[in-house]
Amino acid sequence: MATADEQALFQLFEQLLPAQRWQELAGESEAQIYTLRVVVWMMLLQRLHDRGTQQEVVHQLTAGTLERLVPDCKRVREGNISQNRGGYARACGRISLDVMKTVCDELLAELGQRIEPEPELKIPVLLLDGTSLSLEHTPGLLEDFPPCRNQYRKGHWAILKLVALHDVQTGIALRPAWGPMYGPKAVSEQQLAERVLEQAPAESVIIGDGNFGIFFFLWLVVKSQRQALFRLTKQRAQALAGKELPANGEIQLCWRPSCFDRRKHPELPQDAQVRGRLIVVTANGFREPLYLFTTVAGEPEQMVRLYAKRWHLELDLRTLKCTTRLHHLRGRSRSAIEKELLIAVVAYGLVRTLMALAARRAGLHPRELSFTQCHGLLNAMAGKLLSPVPEQRAQAFHRLIVYMGKSKLPKRSKARFYPRATWGYTQSFPKRKESSAEAEK
């Protein structure tokens, strides 16, 4: 028998949002084929599909995959929907960024309710990290997201910096924050982390690497009634301890801002401070001692085990960039790439939520399932999940959950090892010695 959460997730997948909410957001005539609801679904299917082209989802529309969602109009009744992707492209452009943010925020908030508490701590634990994405080479994007440059020349692609929060148990993503990585308006990962911190559940634990182990961000985490577990650099750990650091052990201390912190963040109150523990661990397999600062109660060994799970986010970001093709955004304007980024995070969160439900049914941990296999299953069954027949939709949803529960990652007796070597290129091309205009002549 299906649980209430399973029924709620099935209903979420069927509708995404209640019908009344779609009407409030759309403000459009139902006489057109590409309504807001249809376009959002097509964008999700485009992100889930292996090729992910606009033409591919238009073919799915004409094949009847979205028959249940398409409004009743003359061209639909006559089976005369154009296979040209121009109408879909224009419909994507008509959706305002504010409407798309509202749709994605509400969907991510609904998915975020399924974040599971960490078993040992009994509270949610979220992993924090950043990455970069490449964008198209267009004048608008190059101005908003300048490319990197070295001592010789500028890069070709526009570059965007992104910071994300993911649940340590299920991998469900919250809405990320992004900004330019280079140029006069470049933002740091800590600045973006301040924005994404608002998405974290109350009283949760935030885990970050040494890039986030600074006083100001730690103070923001504690001020927002959340807990922290951050790695520190050796220099910062020594400055905090004020004495010789032990090879193993913990030190109770009160972290106060330095003169540099106050110059950089004059808004800090005079009594700003954070009480916590500095944990030092030296063990076999560690290239150097591990320095952790935490406000979480627990044994040092437990904190080390918890911090080790931060590696899950590295894998999650790789999955986002490779499996969901987020490594290079194809939009040619800022509005287009932000819509593309938001819908990709929703599609990723939808797969992760279904994986969590499948793992619970199969008695497994969500991290034991293969995201790539589950992503492929959802893509393969999308047509039946959107069937106009309710019984077929329910049957397909049940089958999807069962098969996802069987998509286990292989158990390896030891970690895979590859020698540090560089693959050679099969061919090389001579450097251009003339301008494009001269080459065209």
Task: Write out pLDDT tens, residues 280-322.
Answer: 998 776 678 899 999 999 899 999 999 999 999 999 999 999 9
Does residue 281 share a domain with residue 355? no
pLDDT per position as a tens digit, 335-350:
999 999 999 999 999 9
| Tens of pLDDT, residues 258-285 | 999 999 999 999 999 999 999 999 877 6
Evaluate whether residue 248 is within a structural domain: yes
Note whether residue 188 is domain-resident: no
Whole-angstrom distance, CA of residue 240 vs CA of residue 228: 16
Question: What spatial distance separates the first Cα and last Cα of the chain, rounded to whole Å?
Answer: 72
Q: What percent of the chain has pLDDT over 90?
A: 57
State how many domains the chain has: 2
Any domain includes 92: yes
Do residue 296 and residue 356 come from a single domain?
A: no
In this structure, what DSSP letter does residue 198 have? G
Q: What are phi and psi of 10, to 5 degrees?
A: -65, -40
On whether both 296 and 387 belong to a single domain, the answer is no
pLDDT at residue 247, as a whole number: 81
- Residue 241 confidence class, pLDDT cut points 50, 70, 90: confident
Expressed as residue numbers, the domain containing 301 is 210-309
**44-65 pLDDT per residue, tens:** 999 988 888 899 999 988 888 8
Residue 390 domain-assigned (yes or no): yes
Q: Is residue 268 part of a domain?
A: yes
| Domain finish residue from 309, 328, 349 | 309
25 pLDDT tier (thresholds 50, 70, 90): confident
**What pLDDT is stored for residue 344 in this prediction?**
94
- What are the E-state strand segments in 232-294? 249-255, 274-281, 290-294
pLDDT(394) > 60: yes
What per-residue confidence (pLDDT) applies to 1? 46
Tell me, yes or no, whether 345 and 302 share the same domain: no
> Model confidence at 172, in pLDDT bands (50, 70, 90)?
very high
In a domain, 392, yes or no: yes
With 80 as the cut, is the pLDDT of residue 2 above it?
no
In a domain, 374, yes or no: yes
Give the residue among 217, 347, 235, 370 at the shortest CA–CA distance from 295. 217
- In the predicted structure, residue 7 carries a pLDDT above the cut 80: no
Residue 423 belongs to some domain of the structure: no
Inform me whether the pLDDT recorded for 111 exceeds 60.
yes
Statement: residue 415 has pLDDT above 80: no
Output the six-digit token pair for 139.
């004048």
